[in-house]
């Protein structure tokens, strides 16, 4: 009993970061906190746009006909639909986007207006200069390649974990629904 109990305790013991892993993690969390703030400050100062507003306009500008559904924009910007809907309303009031019904199914799509496109074009050089100054120019080609590889690996793990959690949630819902739908009192011989 002592041996199996010891294995069970060891198997459930938490993993801890090494000193080097902790330093790397702390550096990354500091970067994740400060970089968006610095990019947002530049965009607000120079273009009166939030970081997410800029990326919504940029996302629309890269699409055929400058058109995208809100669900696609949410995926592109990693924003919740309700938050993005409010953001689109603000951009609409400023004349940067308009909402149009899709002729195929009637659902609304968001279209970048000429004013929105011109505002984005005017904002882009300052934003790119800030990205170059804060990130790209700080790295040589090897470090930049390593950054891209690391970012892609971490993003893939996040996406895989999210999809796994969604599948588990769906399976749990199906199991719960099946349990509810099964008739009670049946003999199971």
The CATH number of residue 65's host domain is 1.10.10.10
What's the structural domain count of the chain? 2
Report which DSSP code applies to 66: G
Instruction: Give pLDDT, residue 189.
Output: 47
3-state secondary structure 15-52: CCCCHHHHHHHHHHHHHHHHHHHHHHHHHHHHHCCCHH
Contact 121, 47 (CB under 8 A): no
How high is the pLDDT of residue 176? 60
Pairing mode, if any, of strands 97-101 and 108-112? Answer: antiparallel
Residue 184 domain flag? no
At 138 the pLDDT is 97
| Same structural domain, 46 and 125 | yes
| Domain shared by 129 and 59, yes or no | yes
Residue 154 within a domain: yes
Which residues are CB-neighbours of 56 under 8 A, at least 6 positions away? 73, 76, 77, 84, 87, 88, 91, 97
Residue 38 to residue 172: CA distance in whole angstroms: 42
Q: Could you give the 3-state DSSP secondary structure of residue 62?
A: coil
Residue 79 sits in the same domain as residue 169 = no
Decide which of 138, 161, 184 is a domain's last residue: 138
Over residues 84-101, the pLDDT tens digits come to 989 999 999 999 999 988
Same domain (yes/no): 83, 172: no
Q: pLDDT tens for residues 123-134?
A: 999 999 999 999
pLDDT given for residue 86 in this prediction:
92
The answer to whether the CB of 73 falls within 8 A of the CB of 110 is yes
Cα distance between residue 164 and residue 153, in whole Å: 16
102 and 154 fall within a common domain: no
Q: Is the pTM of this model over 0.85?
A: no
Residues 146 and 132 in one domain: no
Residue ranges of the chain whose pLDDT lies below 50: 188-189
Where in the sequence is the domain holding 165, given as residue range(s)?
140-176
Nearest to 69 by CA among 110, 99, 113: 110
111 shares its domain with 69: yes
């Amino acid at each position: 009993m002592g041996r199996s109990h010891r294995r069970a305790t060891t198997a459930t013991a938490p993993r801890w970061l090494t000193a080097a892993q902790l330093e790397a993690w702390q550096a990354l969390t500091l970067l994740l906190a400060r970089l968006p703030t610095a990019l947002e400050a530049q965009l607000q100062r120079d273009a009166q746009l939030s970081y997410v507003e800029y990326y919504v306009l940029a996302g629309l500008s890269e699409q055929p006909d400058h058109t995208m559904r809100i669900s696609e924009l949410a995926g592109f910007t990693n924003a919740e639909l309700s938050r993005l809907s409010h953001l689109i309303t603000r951009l609409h009031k400023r004349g940067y986007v308009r909402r149009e019904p899709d002729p195929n199914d009637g659902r609304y799509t968001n279209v970048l207006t000429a004013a929105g496109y011109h505002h984005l074009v005017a904002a882009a050089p300052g934003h790119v200069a800030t990205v170059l100054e804060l990130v790209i120019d700080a790295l040589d080609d090897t470090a930049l390649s390593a950054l891209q590889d690391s970012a892609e690996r971490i993003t893939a793990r996040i996406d895989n974990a999210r999809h796994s959690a969604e599948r588990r949630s769906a399976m749990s819902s199906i199991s719960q629904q099946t349990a509810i739908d099964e008739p009670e009192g049946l003999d199971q011989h």
